[in-house]
Chain A
Amino acid sequence: MSKRDLISIMDYTKEEYLRIMELAAEFEKNPNQDLLKGKVVATLFFEPSTRTRLSFETAINRLGGKVIGFSDSNNSSVSKGETLYDTIKIVSNYADLIIIRHPLEGSARYAAEISSVPVINAGDGANQHPSQTLLDMYSIKKTQGTLDNLNIFMVGDLKYGRTVHSLLMAISQFENPIFNFIAPEELQIPKEYKIYLKEKGIRFFEHPEFTDIISEADIVYMTRVQKERFSDPIEYENVKNVFILKNKMLEKTKPNMRILHPLPRINEISRDVDQNKKAYYFQQAHNGIFAREAIIAHTLGLD
Protein backbone atom coordinates (compact mmCIF):
# COMPACT_ATOMS: atom_id res chain seq x y z
CA MET A 1 0.00 0.00 0.00
CA SER A 2 1.33 3.43 -0.84
CA LYS A 3 2.06 5.86 1.94
CA ARG A 4 -1.02 7.87 2.99
CA ASP A 5 -0.21 11.49 3.79
CA LEU A 6 -2.58 14.26 4.83
CA ILE A 7 -1.20 17.49 3.38
CA SER A 8 -4.19 19.26 1.85
CA ILE A 9 -7.87 18.91 2.72
CA MET A 10 -8.52 17.93 -0.90
CA ASP A 11 -6.22 14.89 -0.51
CA TYR A 12 -9.21 13.13 1.05
CA THR A 13 -12.34 11.90 -0.70
CA LYS A 14 -15.83 12.51 0.65
CA GLU A 15 -15.84 8.88 1.87
CA GLU A 16 -12.65 9.56 3.81
CA TYR A 17 -14.15 12.67 5.43
CA LEU A 18 -17.05 10.52 6.58
CA ARG A 19 -14.69 7.80 7.78
CA ILE A 20 -12.80 10.36 9.89
CA MET A 21 -16.11 11.62 11.35
CA GLU A 22 -17.07 8.05 12.27
CA LEU A 23 -13.67 7.30 13.81
CA ALA A 24 -13.61 10.59 15.75
CA ALA A 25 -17.00 9.68 17.26
CA GLU A 26 -15.58 6.31 18.35
CA PHE A 27 -12.54 7.98 19.93
CA GLU A 28 -14.79 10.44 21.70
CA LYS A 29 -16.61 7.51 23.34
CA ASN A 30 -13.35 5.81 24.19
CA PRO A 31 -10.36 8.19 23.88
CA ASN A 32 -7.74 5.93 25.44
CA GLN A 33 -6.78 3.14 23.08
CA ASP A 34 -3.45 1.42 22.61
CA LEU A 35 -3.35 1.66 18.83
CA LEU A 36 0.05 3.37 18.79
CA LYS A 37 1.72 1.06 21.31
CA GLY A 38 5.38 0.69 20.41
CA LYS A 39 5.21 3.50 17.85
CA VAL A 40 7.10 6.77 17.81
CA VAL A 41 5.55 9.92 16.38
CA ALA A 42 7.67 12.99 15.56
CA THR A 43 6.06 16.41 16.03
CA LEU A 44 8.30 18.84 14.16
CA PHE A 45 7.14 22.39 14.91
CA PHE A 46 9.36 24.77 12.97
CA GLU A 47 7.23 27.61 14.33
CA PRO A 48 5.43 27.69 17.65
CA SER A 49 1.75 26.74 17.75
CA THR A 50 0.95 25.70 21.26
CA ARG A 51 -2.68 24.72 20.76
CA THR A 52 -2.13 22.57 17.69
CA ARG A 53 0.95 20.87 19.13
CA LEU A 54 -0.67 20.08 22.47
CA SER A 55 -3.76 18.78 20.71
CA PHE A 56 -1.71 16.42 18.50
CA GLU A 57 0.50 15.32 21.38
CA THR A 58 -2.53 14.64 23.57
CA ALA A 59 -4.01 12.54 20.75
CA ILE A 60 -0.74 10.56 20.43
CA ASN A 61 -0.53 10.00 24.18
CA ARG A 62 -4.14 8.85 24.37
CA LEU A 63 -3.38 6.35 21.62
CA GLY A 64 -0.44 5.01 23.61
CA GLY A 65 2.33 6.32 21.32
CA LYS A 66 5.59 8.04 22.18
CA VAL A 67 6.39 11.59 21.05
CA ILE A 68 9.70 13.02 19.89
CA GLY A 69 10.22 16.45 18.37
CA PHE A 70 10.65 20.15 18.97
CA SER A 71 8.28 23.07 19.47
CA ASP A 72 10.32 25.85 17.91
CA SER A 73 13.04 25.80 15.25
CA ASN A 74 15.37 27.64 17.66
CA ASN A 75 15.60 24.38 19.59
CA SER A 76 16.49 22.32 16.54
CA SER A 77 19.36 21.93 14.10
CA VAL A 78 17.54 24.32 11.76
CA SER A 79 19.15 27.13 13.75
CA LYS A 80 22.49 25.66 12.65
CA GLY A 81 21.42 25.93 9.02
CA GLU A 82 20.21 22.38 8.38
CA THR A 83 17.89 22.06 5.39
CA LEU A 84 14.34 20.73 5.71
CA TYR A 85 15.44 17.95 3.36
CA ASP A 86 18.11 16.69 5.78
CA THR A 87 15.89 17.03 8.85
CA ILE A 88 13.09 14.99 7.26
CA LYS A 89 15.51 12.36 5.87
CA ILE A 90 16.89 11.76 9.34
CA VAL A 91 13.63 11.93 11.33
CA SER A 92 11.81 9.60 8.92
CA ASN A 93 14.36 6.96 9.96
CA TYR A 94 13.55 7.52 13.63
CA ALA A 95 9.76 7.80 13.68
CA ASP A 96 6.71 5.93 12.34
CA LEU A 97 4.83 9.14 11.55
CA ILE A 98 5.79 12.79 11.10
CA ILE A 99 3.55 15.72 12.03
CA ILE A 100 4.97 18.95 10.68
CA ARG A 101 4.24 22.63 11.24
CA HIS A 102 6.33 25.02 9.15
CA PRO A 103 6.08 28.73 8.27
CA LEU A 104 6.82 28.18 4.56
CA GLU A 105 4.00 27.23 2.19
CA GLY A 106 4.41 23.89 0.44
CA SER A 107 6.87 22.63 3.07
CA ALA A 108 4.58 19.79 4.16
CA ARG A 109 4.07 18.50 0.59
CA TYR A 110 7.83 18.61 0.12
CA ALA A 111 8.42 16.81 3.43
CA ALA A 112 5.98 14.07 2.35
CA GLU A 113 7.98 13.55 -0.85
CA ILE A 114 11.20 13.12 1.09
CA SER A 115 9.86 11.05 3.97
CA SER A 116 9.59 7.27 3.92
CA VAL A 117 6.90 7.40 6.64
CA PRO A 118 3.51 9.17 6.41
CA VAL A 119 3.35 12.92 6.97
CA ILE A 120 0.50 14.97 8.46
CA ASN A 121 0.46 18.69 7.78
CA ALA A 122 -0.19 20.69 10.96
CA GLY A 123 -0.07 24.00 9.05
CA ASP A 124 2.23 25.23 6.29
CA GLY A 125 2.22 29.03 6.36
CA ALA A 126 -1.00 30.48 4.98
CA ASN A 127 -1.59 27.41 2.81
CA GLN A 128 -3.24 24.39 4.46
CA HIS A 129 -4.16 23.14 7.93
CA PRO A 130 -6.29 20.06 7.19
CA SER A 131 -6.63 18.73 10.74
CA GLN A 132 -8.33 22.03 11.69
CA THR A 133 -10.81 21.56 8.84
CA LEU A 134 -11.56 17.98 9.87
CA LEU A 135 -12.18 19.01 13.46
CA ASP A 136 -14.42 21.83 12.19
CA MET A 137 -16.34 19.28 10.13
CA TYR A 138 -16.58 16.93 13.09
CA SER A 139 -17.97 19.77 15.21
CA ILE A 140 -20.54 20.57 12.52
CA LYS A 141 -21.51 16.92 12.11
CA LYS A 142 -21.81 16.47 15.85
CA THR A 143 -23.99 19.54 16.40
CA GLN A 144 -26.12 19.31 13.24
CA GLY A 145 -26.21 15.54 12.80
CA THR A 146 -25.26 15.91 9.13
CA LEU A 147 -22.94 17.68 6.70
CA ASP A 148 -25.68 18.03 4.05
CA ASN A 149 -28.18 20.87 3.49
CA LEU A 150 -26.48 23.34 5.82
CA ASN A 151 -26.54 27.13 5.72
CA ILE A 152 -23.06 28.20 6.76
CA PHE A 153 -22.11 31.78 7.59
CA MET A 154 -18.46 32.73 7.44
CA VAL A 155 -17.48 35.98 9.11
CA GLY A 156 -14.35 38.14 9.33
CA ASP A 157 -11.16 37.70 7.36
CA LEU A 158 -12.36 35.64 4.41
CA LYS A 159 -9.50 36.73 2.17
CA TYR A 160 -6.50 35.32 4.02
CA GLY A 161 -8.21 32.87 6.38
CA ARG A 162 -7.02 29.44 5.33
CA THR A 163 -9.47 27.68 7.68
CA VAL A 164 -12.36 29.35 5.86
CA HIS A 165 -11.08 28.36 2.42
CA SER A 166 -10.46 24.73 3.39
CA LEU A 167 -13.83 24.38 5.13
CA LEU A 168 -15.58 25.85 2.10
CA MET A 169 -13.87 23.34 -0.23
CA ALA A 170 -14.65 20.39 2.05
CA ILE A 171 -18.31 21.26 2.71
CA SER A 172 -18.80 21.82 -1.03
CA GLN A 173 -18.39 18.04 -1.47
CA PHE A 174 -21.66 17.53 0.45
CA GLU A 175 -25.29 17.95 -0.61
CA ASN A 176 -26.87 21.32 -1.16
CA PRO A 177 -24.92 23.73 1.08
CA ILE A 178 -25.60 27.49 1.19
CA PHE A 179 -22.82 29.91 2.10
CA ASN A 180 -23.22 33.44 3.45
CA PHE A 181 -20.05 35.52 3.58
CA ILE A 182 -19.84 38.51 5.91
CA ALA A 183 -16.61 40.46 5.47
CA PRO A 184 -15.24 43.98 5.09
CA GLU A 185 -14.52 45.11 1.54
CA GLU A 186 -10.76 44.53 1.96
CA LEU A 187 -11.15 40.98 3.25
CA GLN A 188 -13.79 39.46 0.99
CA ILE A 189 -13.67 35.86 -0.13
CA PRO A 190 -11.24 35.56 -3.10
CA LYS A 191 -12.63 35.35 -6.61
CA GLU A 192 -11.24 31.85 -7.22
CA TYR A 193 -13.54 30.43 -4.50
CA LYS A 194 -16.57 32.23 -5.89
CA ILE A 195 -15.81 30.80 -9.32
CA TYR A 196 -15.46 27.35 -7.74
CA LEU A 197 -18.86 27.64 -6.04
CA LYS A 198 -20.53 28.92 -9.21
CA GLU A 199 -19.10 26.05 -11.24
CA LYS A 200 -20.48 23.58 -8.71
CA GLY A 201 -23.87 25.35 -8.73
CA ILE A 202 -23.63 26.15 -5.00
CA ARG A 203 -25.58 29.19 -3.74
CA PHE A 204 -23.71 31.90 -1.88
CA PHE A 205 -24.42 35.46 -0.73
CA GLU A 206 -22.11 38.28 0.31
CA HIS A 207 -22.86 40.88 2.97
CA PRO A 208 -20.80 43.89 4.10
CA GLU A 209 -21.99 43.60 7.73
CA PHE A 210 -24.11 41.50 10.10
CA THR A 211 -27.79 41.51 9.13
CA ASP A 212 -31.00 39.85 10.29
CA ILE A 213 -30.29 37.13 7.77
CA ILE A 214 -28.16 35.48 10.47
CA SER A 215 -31.50 34.03 11.69
CA GLU A 216 -31.21 31.52 8.81
CA ALA A 217 -27.80 30.20 9.87
CA ASP A 218 -27.07 26.65 10.97
CA ILE A 219 -23.40 27.43 11.57
CA VAL A 220 -21.72 30.80 12.15
CA TYR A 221 -18.01 30.37 11.58
CA MET A 222 -16.17 33.36 13.06
CA THR A 223 -12.56 34.34 12.28
CA ARG A 224 -10.48 37.17 13.57
CA VAL A 225 -9.81 40.29 11.56
CA GLN A 226 -6.09 40.88 11.84
CA LYS A 227 -4.74 44.39 11.98
CA GLU A 228 -1.69 43.56 9.87
CA ARG A 229 -3.94 42.66 6.92
CA PHE A 230 -4.94 46.28 6.41
CA SER A 231 -2.85 48.63 4.32
CA ASP A 232 -4.56 51.57 6.00
CA PRO A 233 -4.70 51.46 9.85
CA ILE A 234 -7.64 53.91 9.84
CA GLU A 235 -9.60 51.42 7.76
CA TYR A 236 -8.89 48.74 10.39
CA GLU A 237 -10.20 51.00 13.14
CA ASN A 238 -13.39 51.55 11.12
CA VAL A 239 -13.88 47.88 10.45
CA LYS A 240 -12.85 46.12 13.64
CA ASN A 241 -16.01 46.91 15.58
CA VAL A 242 -18.41 46.06 12.76
CA PHE A 243 -17.61 42.36 12.87
CA ILE A 244 -18.16 41.65 16.53
CA LEU A 245 -20.72 39.02 17.40
CA LYS A 246 -22.75 40.02 20.47
CA ASN A 247 -25.15 37.95 22.52
CA LYS A 248 -28.20 40.10 21.72
CA MET A 249 -27.65 39.42 18.00
CA LEU A 250 -28.40 35.75 18.65
CA GLU A 251 -31.98 36.22 19.84
CA LYS A 252 -33.72 35.29 16.59
CA THR A 253 -31.28 32.60 15.50
CA LYS A 254 -32.31 28.99 14.96
CA PRO A 255 -32.20 26.65 17.99
CA ASN A 256 -29.75 24.29 16.25
CA MET A 257 -27.39 27.14 15.32
CA ARG A 258 -23.85 26.88 16.68
CA ILE A 259 -20.97 29.36 16.68
CA LEU A 260 -17.54 28.07 15.73
CA HIS A 261 -14.16 29.80 15.81
CA PRO A 262 -10.74 28.25 15.07
CA LEU A 263 -9.31 30.35 17.97
CA PRO A 264 -7.50 32.30 19.25
CA ARG A 265 -10.13 35.04 19.32
CA ILE A 266 -9.34 38.66 20.02
CA ASN A 267 -12.55 40.67 20.37
CA GLU A 268 -14.68 39.37 17.50
CA ILE A 269 -16.87 37.29 19.81
CA SER A 270 -18.05 39.29 22.77
CA ARG A 271 -17.48 37.56 26.14
CA ASP A 272 -21.23 37.58 26.86
CA VAL A 273 -21.69 35.06 24.03
CA ASP A 274 -19.65 32.46 25.94
CA GLN A 275 -22.61 31.78 28.25
CA ASN A 276 -25.00 31.16 25.38
CA LYS A 277 -25.53 27.48 24.62
CA LYS A 278 -25.02 28.28 20.95
CA ALA A 279 -21.38 29.14 21.65
CA TYR A 280 -19.47 26.03 20.64
CA TYR A 281 -15.84 27.13 20.14
CA PHE A 282 -14.39 25.64 23.32
CA GLN A 283 -16.03 22.26 22.69
CA GLN A 284 -14.80 22.60 19.11
CA ALA A 285 -11.20 22.82 20.37
CA HIS A 286 -11.85 19.78 22.55
CA ASN A 287 -13.18 17.87 19.51
CA GLY A 288 -9.75 18.49 17.96
CA ILE A 289 -8.29 15.69 20.10
CA PHE A 290 -10.75 13.10 18.74
CA ALA A 291 -10.43 14.33 15.15
CA ARG A 292 -6.64 14.10 15.42
CA GLU A 293 -6.79 10.62 16.96
CA ALA A 294 -8.93 9.65 13.96
CA ILE A 295 -6.53 11.26 11.45
CA ILE A 296 -3.50 9.53 13.00
CA ALA A 297 -5.22 6.12 13.06
CA HIS A 298 -6.38 6.54 9.46
CA THR A 299 -2.99 7.77 8.25
CA LEU A 300 -1.24 4.74 9.75
CA GLY A 301 -3.89 2.37 8.40
CA LEU A 302 -4.88 1.30 11.92
CA ASP A 303 -8.61 1.91 11.46
Chain B
Amino acid sequence: MNDSEKNLKKLKVSALKNGTVIDHIPPQNLFKVISILGLDKIREDMITFGMNLDSKAMGSKALIKISNKYFEDDDINRIALIAPNAKLNIIKDYKVVEKKEVQVPDEVIGIVKCFNPKCITNHEDISTSFKVINKDPLELKCKYCEKITNKDQMFLK
Protein backbone atom coordinates (compact mmCIF):
# COMPACT_ATOMS: atom_id res chain seq x y z
CA MET B 1 0.00 0.00 0.00
CA ASN B 2 1.57 3.37 -1.00
CA ASP B 3 1.13 6.67 0.82
CA SER B 4 -1.77 7.92 -1.28
CA GLU B 5 -3.69 4.67 -0.68
CA LYS B 6 -3.04 5.02 3.04
CA ASN B 7 -4.41 8.55 2.89
CA LEU B 8 -7.48 7.35 1.06
CA LYS B 9 -8.08 4.78 3.75
CA LYS B 10 -7.76 7.46 6.39
CA LEU B 11 -10.30 9.57 4.56
CA LYS B 12 -12.75 6.71 4.44
CA VAL B 13 -12.61 6.30 8.20
CA SER B 14 -11.95 9.69 9.66
CA ALA B 15 -10.58 10.07 13.17
CA LEU B 16 -12.87 10.32 16.15
CA LYS B 17 -12.15 12.78 18.95
CA ASN B 18 -14.35 11.23 21.64
CA GLY B 19 -16.67 8.29 21.37
CA THR B 20 -16.84 4.60 20.48
CA VAL B 21 -15.75 2.59 17.47
CA ILE B 22 -17.49 -0.73 16.99
CA ASP B 23 -15.36 -2.88 14.72
CA HIS B 24 -15.58 -6.36 13.19
CA ILE B 25 -19.32 -6.36 12.61
CA PRO B 26 -20.48 -8.89 9.96
CA PRO B 27 -21.51 -6.57 7.06
CA GLN B 28 -24.89 -8.26 6.58
CA ASN B 29 -25.82 -7.39 10.17
CA LEU B 30 -24.67 -3.76 10.20
CA PHE B 31 -28.15 -2.28 9.99
CA LYS B 32 -29.46 -4.68 12.62
CA VAL B 33 -26.71 -3.51 14.96
CA ILE B 34 -27.66 0.10 14.27
CA SER B 35 -31.26 -0.71 15.04
CA ILE B 36 -30.59 -2.73 18.24
CA LEU B 37 -28.39 0.01 19.66
CA GLY B 38 -30.94 2.65 18.67
CA LEU B 39 -28.32 4.62 16.70
CA ASP B 40 -30.97 5.60 14.17
CA LYS B 41 -32.61 7.63 16.95
CA ILE B 42 -29.54 9.76 17.71
CA ARG B 43 -30.14 13.27 16.39
CA GLU B 44 -27.07 15.33 17.31
CA ASP B 45 -23.83 13.44 17.46
CA MET B 46 -22.08 12.36 14.30
CA ILE B 47 -22.23 8.70 13.35
CA THR B 48 -20.26 7.25 10.46
CA PHE B 49 -20.34 3.68 9.33
CA GLY B 50 -18.44 1.64 6.79
CA MET B 51 -19.57 -1.54 5.15
CA ASN B 52 -17.74 -4.19 3.11
CA LEU B 53 -14.36 -3.05 4.40
CA ASP B 54 -11.42 -5.40 4.01
CA SER B 55 -10.71 -7.51 7.06
CA LYS B 56 -7.88 -9.99 7.51
CA ALA B 57 -9.87 -12.05 9.98
CA MET B 58 -13.33 -11.88 8.43
CA GLY B 59 -12.67 -11.19 4.74
CA SER B 60 -15.17 -8.37 4.85
CA LYS B 61 -16.49 -6.39 7.76
CA ALA B 62 -18.45 -3.34 8.82
CA LEU B 63 -17.68 -0.73 11.45
CA ILE B 64 -19.48 2.11 13.18
CA LYS B 65 -18.04 5.26 14.77
CA ILE B 66 -20.21 7.17 17.18
CA SER B 67 -19.13 10.54 18.50
CA ASN B 68 -19.52 11.36 22.18
CA LYS B 69 -21.22 8.07 22.99
CA TYR B 70 -20.14 5.37 25.43
CA PHE B 71 -22.08 2.19 26.07
CA GLU B 72 -22.87 0.25 29.21
CA ASP B 73 -21.82 -3.43 28.96
CA ASP B 74 -25.44 -4.62 29.23
CA ASP B 75 -26.40 -2.44 26.29
CA ILE B 76 -23.54 -3.39 24.05
CA ASN B 77 -23.86 -7.10 24.81
CA ARG B 78 -27.24 -7.02 23.13
CA ILE B 79 -25.43 -7.12 19.77
CA ALA B 80 -23.44 -10.24 20.71
CA LEU B 81 -26.09 -12.47 19.15
CA ILE B 82 -25.54 -11.04 15.66
CA ALA B 83 -21.99 -9.67 15.94
CA PRO B 84 -20.24 -12.15 18.24
CA ASN B 85 -16.74 -10.99 17.26
CA ALA B 86 -17.41 -7.26 17.53
CA LYS B 87 -14.71 -5.22 19.24
CA LEU B 88 -15.11 -1.84 20.84
CA ASN B 89 -12.52 0.90 20.96
CA ILE B 90 -13.24 3.60 23.48
CA ILE B 91 -11.75 6.85 22.23
CA LYS B 92 -10.89 9.85 24.35
CA ASP B 93 -9.09 12.81 22.85
CA TYR B 94 -8.19 10.85 19.67
CA LYS B 95 -6.62 8.04 21.69
CA VAL B 96 -7.86 4.50 22.27
CA VAL B 97 -8.16 4.38 26.06
CA GLU B 98 -9.89 1.00 26.30
CA LYS B 99 -10.69 -2.03 24.15
CA LYS B 100 -13.61 -4.30 24.85
CA GLU B 101 -15.11 -7.43 23.38
CA VAL B 102 -18.81 -8.22 23.41
CA GLN B 103 -20.07 -11.08 25.57
CA VAL B 104 -23.17 -13.17 24.96
CA PRO B 105 -25.46 -12.20 27.88
CA ASP B 106 -27.21 -14.70 30.19
CA GLU B 107 -30.62 -13.32 29.29
CA VAL B 108 -31.93 -11.93 26.03
CA ILE B 109 -34.85 -9.54 26.41
CA GLY B 110 -36.65 -8.37 23.28
CA ILE B 111 -34.48 -8.46 20.11
CA VAL B 112 -35.08 -12.12 19.16
CA LYS B 113 -38.33 -13.70 17.98
CA CYS B 114 -39.33 -17.06 19.48
CA PHE B 115 -39.21 -19.61 16.64
CA ASN B 116 -42.30 -21.44 17.94
CA PRO B 117 -45.31 -20.25 15.90
CA LYS B 118 -47.63 -21.33 18.72
CA CYS B 119 -45.81 -19.23 21.34
CA ILE B 120 -47.94 -16.50 22.90
CA THR B 121 -45.18 -13.95 22.14
CA ASN B 122 -45.94 -14.36 18.43
CA HIS B 123 -49.62 -13.58 18.98
CA GLU B 124 -49.76 -10.74 21.49
CA ASP B 125 -47.68 -7.61 21.88
CA ILE B 126 -45.16 -9.02 24.38
CA SER B 127 -41.44 -8.42 24.73
CA THR B 128 -39.74 -11.79 24.31
CA SER B 129 -37.52 -13.11 27.08
CA PHE B 130 -34.98 -15.92 26.79
CA LYS B 131 -32.52 -17.59 29.08
CA VAL B 132 -29.25 -18.32 27.27
CA ILE B 133 -28.74 -22.05 27.96
CA ASN B 134 -25.79 -22.45 25.61
CA LYS B 135 -23.51 -19.71 24.29
CA ASP B 136 -21.75 -21.65 21.56
CA PRO B 137 -23.63 -22.84 19.61
CA LEU B 138 -26.22 -20.34 20.70
CA GLU B 139 -29.39 -21.76 22.30
CA LEU B 140 -32.12 -19.63 23.84
CA LYS B 141 -34.92 -20.99 26.04
CA CYS B 142 -38.15 -19.02 25.87
CA LYS B 143 -39.43 -17.94 29.29
CA TYR B 144 -43.01 -18.35 28.05
CA CYS B 145 -43.36 -21.47 25.87
CA GLU B 146 -40.13 -23.09 27.21
CA LYS B 147 -39.06 -24.08 23.68
CA ILE B 148 -35.45 -23.71 22.59
CA THR B 149 -34.58 -21.39 19.71
CA ASN B 150 -31.17 -22.14 18.18
CA LYS B 151 -28.90 -20.05 16.00
CA ASP B 152 -30.33 -21.33 12.71
CA GLN B 153 -33.91 -20.58 13.79
CA MET B 154 -33.10 -17.12 15.10
CA PHE B 155 -34.87 -14.10 13.67
CA LEU B 156 -34.74 -10.62 15.06
CA LYS B 157 -37.94 -8.85 16.07
Report the separation of the CA atoms of residues A192 and B148 in the bound assembly, to the nearest whole angstrom: 10
Q: Is B121 an interface residue (CB 8 A)?
A: yes
Please give the distance in Å from A232's CB to the nearest CB on chain B.
23
Report the separation of the CA atoms of residues A126 and B148 in the bound assembly, to the nearest whole angstrom: 14
A125→B124 contact, CB < 8 A: no
**Which parts of B116-138 form the interface with A (CB within 8 Å)?**
116, 118-121, 123-126
Taking each of A83, A84, A85, A104, which has the highest tally of chain B beta carbons within 10 Å of its own beta carbon? A104
A127→B124 contact, CB < 8 A: no
Q: Is B147 an interface residue (CB 8 A)?
A: yes
Please name all residues of chain B whose beta carbon is closer than 8 Å to the beta carbon of A102 when the two chains form the complex: 120
Please name all residues of chain A whose beta carbon is closer than 8 Å to the beta carbon of B147 when the two chains form the complex: 105, 127
Using a Cβ–Cβ cut-off of 8 Å, how many residues does chain A contribute to the interface with B? Answer: 18
Per-position binary interface string of chain A over residues 79-106, scored 1 when its CB falls under 8 Å from any chain B CB and 0 otherwise: 0000111000000000000000011111
B118→A105 contact, CB < 8 A: yes
A105→B119 contact, CB < 8 A: yes
Q: Which residue of B lies closest to A110 (CB)?
A: B120
Q: Is A8 an interface residue (CB 8 A)?
A: yes
Using a Cβ–Cβ cut-off of 8 Å, how many residues does chain B contribute to the interface with A? Answer: 17
Please name all residues of chain A whose beta carbon is closer than 8 Å to the beta carbon of B123 when the two chains form the complex: 104
Q: Is A240 an interface residue (CB 8 A)?
A: no
A107→B146 contact, CB < 8 A: no
**Which parts of B64-92 form the interface with A (CB within 8 Å)?**
none
Please name all residues of chain A whose beta carbon is closer than 8 Å to the beta carbon of B148 when the two chains form the complex: 192
Q: Is B21 an interface residue (CB 8 A)?
A: no
Report the separation of the CA atoms of residues A85 and B127 in the bound assembly, to the nearest whole angstrom: 13
- Do A104 and B146 contact each other (CB < 8 Å), given the known contacts A83-B124, A84-B124, A110-B126? no
Report the separation of the CA atoms of residues A84 and B120 in the bound assembly, to the nearest whole angstrom: 9
B146→A110 contact, CB < 8 A: no
Per-position binary interface string of chain B over residues 136-157, scored 1 when its CB falls under 8 Å from any chain A CB and 0 otherwise: 0000001111111000000000
For the A-B complex with A126-B118, A128-B146 known, give 18 more contacts whose Cβ atoms are closer than 8 Å: A8-B146, A85-B125, A102-B120, A105-B119, A105-B120, A105-B144, A105-B146, A105-B147, A106-B114, A106-B120, A109-B120, A109-B143, A110-B124, A110-B126, A124-B145, A125-B118, A127-B145, A127-B147
30 A-B residue pairings within 8 Å (CB atoms):
A8-B146, A83-B125, A84-B120, A84-B124, A85-B125, A103-B118, A104-B118, A104-B119, A105-B116, A105-B118, A105-B120, A105-B144, A105-B145, A106-B114, A106-B120, A106-B121, A106-B142, A107-B120, A109-B120, A109-B143, A109-B144, A110-B121, A110-B124, A124-B120, A125-B118, A125-B145, A127-B145, A127-B146, A128-B146, A192-B148
